[in-house]
Amino acid sequence: MSLELDERQRAMLQEMGVRVWSPAPLSARTGELSPEPARQVKAAAAEAAAPGKPVVSERPAAPVGKTVQQTAAPVPTTAQPLPADIAAMDWDALRQAVASCQACGLCESRKNTVFGTGDTQARWLVVGEAPGENEDLQGEPFVGTAGQLLDNMLKAVGLRRDGTGEQGVYIANVLKCRPPANRNPQPDEVAQCEPYLRRQVELQQPQIILALGRFAAQSLLQTTVPDVARIPLGKLRGQVHSYQGVPVVVSYHPAYLLRTPQDKAKAWADLCLALDVMQRGEAASA
Ligand code: URA
């Protein structure tokens, strides 16, 4: 997909509250679109990738209404082999395993497990933190207000979870069960749930992973970024990381963006970076 924006994408970005360009004027003489939008979007992505860019100290994302804890929960730092039973599972078996999982205490309070949604063969994987109240009730990730913002951001780059976009996307969380009262995930919960996400990645084989928020970033980068739990999310942005050989771009959690709309432009730059990584991957394999 080109970085030049069509009317639909402009509308989406406007809805997100992102204004990274002035309205594209038609050239009076040629009738062509101004190159300015694409230039500015590319500049935003470049700015995100630029070393030495100003780092925004962000309170790591927590869904609206979540208790804000200032310290990062430590997560496991060594990659354990996947348990043999999980390593052998296909999508159906994995979904069933999650649905009946009792590996941590979250199974006692959950109403539904939230396995993931979208196109299991999509090239894009979006990873969030954990289900909130609405997700727990509906069994689907990102169905609340943060989910609406996420959908709009994804639509702006042609991705739709229902498969009607130019490209598919799969959306999953680090935790498959809702932490009570939307508290932060605990290290043991992340550790117990991690094999499920790892197997999802193995089965999907995405070409890009967008990690939304602190817990997704920590969980995916724990074996490749030393001391990742101590690194502010803002410093993990603007680089291309790796998870099981898949490029990972870190961005803000949509719930954080709802509280901090001035950072939406940075999230847009992160999306552009991810798009750029995808396009470069496609070009390399063409
Ligand atoms: N926040 C997340 O990280 N995931 C969801 O599914 C909903 C809110």
Three state DSSP letters for the chain: CCCCCCHHHHHHHHHHCCCCCCCCCECCCCCCECCHHHHHHHHHHHHHHCCCCCCCCCCCCCCCCCCCCCCCCCCCCCCCCCCHHHHCCCHHHHHHHHHCCCCCCHHHHCCCCCCCEECCCCCEEEEECCCCHHHHHHCCCCCCHHHHHHHHHHHHCCEECCCCCCEEEEEEECCCCCCHHHCCCCHHHHHHHHHHHHHHHHHHCCCEEEEECHHHHHHHHCCCCCCHHHCCHHHHCCCCEEECCEEEEEECCHHHHHHCHHHHHHHHHHHHHHHHHHHHHHHHHC
Of 39-48, 139-148, 176-185, least confident by mean pLDDT is 39-48
pLDDT of residue 4: 63
Per the listing, tokens 């101590």 go with: 230
The predicted pLDDT at position 65 comes to 30
Sign of CA dihedral 14, 125, 230, 148: positive
Task: Report the sign of the C-alpha dihedral through residues 181, 182, 183, 185, in that order.
Answer: positive
Atom of ligand 1 lying closest to residue 128 CA: 3
Q: How far is the CA of 135 from the centre of ligand 1 (A)?
A: 7
Of the given ranges (5-19, 33-47, 48-62), which has the lowest mean pLDDT?
Answer: 48-62
Question: pLDDT category, 69, cuts 50, 70, 90?
Answer: very low
Q: What is the pTM of this model?
A: 0.79
Q: What angle do CA 152, 154, 160 make, to 5 degrees?
A: 95
User: Which pair of tokens denotes residue 265?
Assistant: 């432009």
Q: Which residue has the tokens 């709802």?
A: 258
Share of the chain above pLDDT 70, in %: 73
Cα 255 to ligand 1 centroid, rounded to whole Å: 8
- Given the CA of residue 253, which atom of ligand 1 is nearest to it? 3
Q: To test the ligand 1 pocket, which listed residue (126, 134, 173) has its Cβ within 8 A of the most ligand atoms?
A: 173
Atom of ligand 1 nearest to the CA of 61: 3
Q: Which of 67-71, 138-142, 151-155, 164-168 has the lowest mean pLDDT?
A: 67-71
171 DSSP β-pair partners? 117, 126
Least confident residue range of 117-131, 155-169, 258-272: 155-169
The tokens describing 111, both together, are: 């109403």
Domain map (residue ranges) of the chain: 86-285
- d(Cα 148, Cα 239) in Å, to the nearest integer? 26
Q: Which atom of ligand 1 is nearest to the CA of 215?
A: 3
pLDDT score, position 18: 63
Q: How far is CA 242 from CA 147, 185, 206, in A?
A: 25, 22, 12
Band the pLDDT of 132: cuts 50, 70, 90.
Answer: very high
Choose which CATH entry (3.40.1190.10, 3.40.470.10, 3.40.50.10140, 1.10.1380.10) describes domain 86-285: 3.40.470.10
Q: What pLDDT score does 14 carry?
A: 67
The whole-number average pLDDT for the span 22-40 is: 34
Q: Which residues have a Cβ under 8 Å from the Cβ of 261 and sit 6 or more positions away?
A: 17
Q: How remote is the CA of residue 174 from the centroid of ligand 1, in Å?
A: 9
pLDDT for res 13: 67
Cβ-count burial of 239 within 10 angstroms (0-12 exposed, 13-18 middle, 19+ buried)?
middle
CA of 132 from ligand 1 middle (Å) equals: 6
* pLDDT-wise least confident of 126-130, 147-151, 164-168, 249-253: 164-168
For 164-223, write each residue's pLDDT tens digit: 878 899 999 999 999 999 999 999 999 999 999 999 999 999 999 999 999 999 999 999
- Listed residue (215, 173, 190) closest to 71, CA to CA: 215
Residue 43 pLDDT greater than 90, yes or no: no
Lowest mean pLDDT among 17-31, 69-83, 123-137, 146-160: 17-31
Q: What are phi and psi of 90, to 5 degrees?
A: -95, -175
pLDDT band at 59 (very low <50, low <70, confident <90, very high): very low
Residues 6+ apart with CB under 8 A from 218: 72, 73, 75, 190, 228, 229
Cα–ligand 1 centroid distance for 27 (angstroms): 43
pLDDT at position 66, please? 32
Ligand 1 pocket: which of 117, 142, 176, 184 to mutate (most atoms within 8 A of CB) = 142
| Mean pLDDT of all residues belonging to the chain | 81
pLDDT > 60? residue 272? yes
Q: How far is the CA of 173 from the centre of ligand 1 (A)?
A: 7
Per-residue confidence band for 9, with pLDDT thresholds at 50, 70 and 90 = low
Q: What is the pLDDT of residue 283?
A: 76
Specify the higher pLDDT residue, 197 or 51: 197
Pocket residues for ligand 1 (CB within 6 Å)? 63, 128-132, 135, 141-142, 146, 173, 255
pLDDT at 284: 82
Q: How far is the CA of 283 from the centre of ligand 1 (A)?
A: 32
- Bridge-based pairing of strands 124-128 and 159-160 is unpaired
Please state the atom number of ligand 1 nearest to the C-alpha of residue 129: 3
